[in-house]
Structure 1
Amino acid sequence: MVDATQVTDPCCRHGEGPVWDPRTDRLLWVDMLDGDVLTLSPGMGEGPALSPGTERVNRHHVDTVAAVVRPRASEGYLVAVERGFVLTDAELRPVRRLPELWTDPNLRMNEGGCDPAGRLYCGSMAYDVRPGAAALYRLDADLEARRVLDDITISNGIAWSPDGSLAYYVDTPTQRVDVFDYDPETAVLTGRRPFVRIAESDGSPDGLTLDAEGGVWVALWGGGEVRRYAPDGRLDVRIALPARQVTACTFGGPELRDLYVTTSRLGLTDPEPAAGALFRASPGVAGLPVTPFRD
């Protein structure tokens, strides 16, 4: 078991989607349903200090929903919002809104990540979690979004193996992490199959990330932990957190050896003091650098 340290106060209603930006040496994540992108900078920033240590948290409002944030290869950031995508400048100020992908007010974007070629994959969900209502989209360098998977309920974590040949993906109610064969040249997902199955009593799979050894780190919503599964599917590391609703994780910090973990207090009716805080662990393995969106 690896220990986790609380880095911030419970500054999020629904913290999600952490990503490390090596250009600025800072962590970004989202307070999804408040439409905000948060940044964590050691001893820097203009906002109030929200952490027990030296870090500072700054909040940037982007839209009604901010589901995913990724650095752009050109400049600034790409943010998935309620029904599509927004391009921002380096200060996270919106500069261009792409066309909405749907008009149904009952659907929103939820989670995503960039493939090894810099295409963004991002999936949706229904606010009422209606089965099969969601889809997975791919945003290419031409800023056109293409629908690549249908009949999804809660599109969640997606990440690629170190060599780019495998894509790991979560549709949360399936209680599985699935794996696809992937060709970064053609951007084709094939051969979908279960990688690991998670018992409902252990929580539900949410966001995920991979390390440099090909290990798959999965956040367990309702389970209060992050798990590492070796490339052969064997469970070999567990990180317990004092918050049940663990949402996502990513590697960052010097040499990408810190694992940052987001949590949520959404819908909680009983007191849980750490829910909504950001956590950090040192699991003894390095992560993979983020692939920026190549526009």
Structure 2
Amino acid sequence: MTERYEAIVIGGGAAGLSAALVLGRARRSTLVVDAGEPRNAPAAHMQGYLTRDGTPPGEFLAEGRREIERYGVELVRGRAVDVVRDGAGEFDVTLADGRTVHARRLVVATGLADELPSVPGVAERFGRDVLHCPYCHGWEVRDQAFGVVATTPMSVHQALMVSQWSKDVTLFLHTVAEAELTDDDLRRLAAAGVSVMPGEVAGLVIDDDRLTGVRLTDGTVHDREVVFVAPRAVPRTRLLERLGAELRETPFGAYPVVDETGQTTVPGVWAAGNAMGFAEQVITAAGAGYRAGATINGDLLFTDLDATGRA
């Protein structure tokens, strides 16, 4: 028989676990489906989370799983491969192992994947001395020699932002033509003291397991200690699309249209964390999960009260 829950949370990161914690504490039967693919897995530590600054992401998630277990929330390690909305407005979720589980309400917290530039050395060093978010890692690498590998004109914005943490910043244009830089770009880069280096990046120079430079295709090597890149965000919205959720286009991909609580255009379905936007950090993702969980509990409560009153 199909296992039935009041809520199923798809995704076991900060957003999903936070939603599940609220629902468990509200005495709602809840299942978390966790594929084990957190976006911040390459990072040794997470920063900017009040009282948890510097905590390893794996340790943070393990503690979250222990907390939801205390309130009777079930967790299954696996992947949700399909979801359909039935005639009653509830949901059947198919797992990769063939099981089907049923939910009255659904939280999609599947996050996104970072697709890195295909520069030799970038993937191997990502999360160490190849970074993407100065708010996540800027303090730890402050005052070192930064390089920014441009893959889009938006990389100018990244170079300007990281100049807050170092006054030695070089923007390597890589796949961006000089002609693509606007007068405002050039003025701001000059004001920030950011050097602009034309030419395509051939790879990173690693010495004794430490990044020491950026090599261009012309053979020149430029000494750098840290490199920032802009991954292409790949939102994991397949299940939301399967349900017919409306998406909105952004410079970082297509994300679901949601209200202030995270509810999508599909009744009974909420999105939280990076499943609803590119810029969600761990602390804001957890907050979004909390809002979704609390809203779902209230929605279920009043739905049942109204049904009882009509009986």
Shorter-chain-normalised TM-score: which range? under 0.3
Q: Which has the larger radius of gyration?
A: 2
TM-score by length of 1: 0.25
Q: Which is richer in strand?
A: 1
TM-score by length of 2: 0.25
Q: Which is richer in helix?
A: 2
